């Protein structure tokens, strides 16, 4: 997993999503990676990265889709 702060996180359907953030604690060093934690079997997985590195981003769930910035999946 990627150590980071200033990330976005949301949970839906027994899965916790963590995306973006910074690796150096400031506004620079933003990352685009996304990882998930499956609560049912206590495992982590790496998912497709966001197209743009972001930190301090808002995330949410809209009609079952995870949304970060302007994109939903």
DSSP letter, residue 43: E
Q: Per the structure block, which two tokens stand in for 35?
A: 């990882």
Q: What is the pLDDT of residue 26?
A: 67
1-37 as b/e, with b when 16 or more CB fall inside 10 Å? eeebebbbebeeeeeebbbbbbbeeeeeebbebbbbb
Reading across the β-sheet that carries 65-68, which strands appear in turn?
A: 59-62, 65-68, 71-72
Is the separation of the CB atoms in 49 and 39 below 8 Å? no
Is the separation of the CB atoms in 73 and 59 below 8 Å? no
Average pLDDT, the chain: 89
pLDDT digits (tens, 9 = 90+) for 20-50: 999 886 667 899 999 999 999 999 999 999 9
Residue 4 has pLDDT above 70, yes or no: yes
């Amino acid at each position: 997993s990627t150590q980071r702060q200033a990330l976005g996180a949301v949970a839906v359907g027994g899965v916790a999503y963590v995306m973006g953030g910074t690796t150096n604690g400031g506004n620079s060093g933003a990352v685009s990676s996304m990882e998930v934690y499956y609560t049912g079997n206590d495992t982590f997985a790496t998912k497709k990265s966001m197209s743009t590195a972001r930190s301090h981003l808002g995330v949410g769930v809209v009609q079952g889709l995870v949304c970060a910035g302007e994109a939903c999946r």
